[in-house]
């Protein structure tokens, strides 16, 4: 298990917390969790053969906006995949699940009128496509927050929302 953050959280009862602008990689069967996904995008990657999994919680679409690698969807995904590969994952087998990217506010910051949530989803999908990773499930958009629990043993992503209830992707 590796967590990429300024702090080094330790597993508690088989759970690894991934904070905002962080990602974690696990091959020990822990559950990776994150909460507070509004316009942020949660990206869960999983290699079903090696059981190496990773979860990123990215705030912004692209790194050209400056800052930490895990803060941005594009560089967070690239770094997450690299860390998973170092832990034994084969990039050719990795699949992705996405959640978040909500339109939480009544304004847009892009000149094309798209919300930060929409741009986060677009950036994640474009990066995954460029890396040859299939998105096998997604719960994105809307106007509600989400919390995630990613089971690194089987690749199940539980999405919890007060607005829409729980679902497993």
Catalytic residues, by residue number, are 40
Distance in angstroms (rounded) separating the CA atoms of residues 25 and 66:
24
SS3 state at 102: coil
| Cα–Cα distance for residue pair 124/121, rounded to 1 Å | 5
Q: Count each helix (H run) and each strand (E run) in the chain, helices first.
A: 2, 11
Task: State the pairing for strand pair 134-140/95-100.
Answer: parallel
Gyration radius of the chain's alpha carbons: 15
């Amino acid at each position: 298990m590796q967590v990429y953050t300024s702090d080094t959280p330790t597993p508690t009862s088989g759970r690894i917390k991934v904070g905002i602008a962080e990602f974690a990689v696990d091959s020990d069967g822990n559950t990776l969790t994150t909460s507070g996904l509004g316009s942020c995008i949660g990206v869960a990657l999983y290699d079903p053969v090696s059981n190496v999994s990773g979860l990123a919680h990215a705030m912004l679409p692209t790194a050209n906006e400056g800052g930490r690698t895990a803060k941005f969807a594009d560089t967070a995904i690239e770094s997450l995949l690299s860390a998973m590969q170092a832990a034994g994952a084969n990039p050719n087998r990795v699949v992705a699940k996405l959640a978040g990217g909500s339109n939480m506010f009544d304004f847009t910051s892009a000149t094309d009128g798209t919300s930060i949530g929409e741009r986060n989803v677009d950036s994640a999908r474009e990066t995954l496509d460029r890396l040859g990773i299939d998105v096998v499930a997604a719960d994105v958009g809307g106007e509600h927050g989400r919390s995630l629990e990613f089971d690194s043993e089987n690749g199940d992503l539980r999405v919890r929302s007060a607005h829409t209830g729980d679902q497993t992707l």
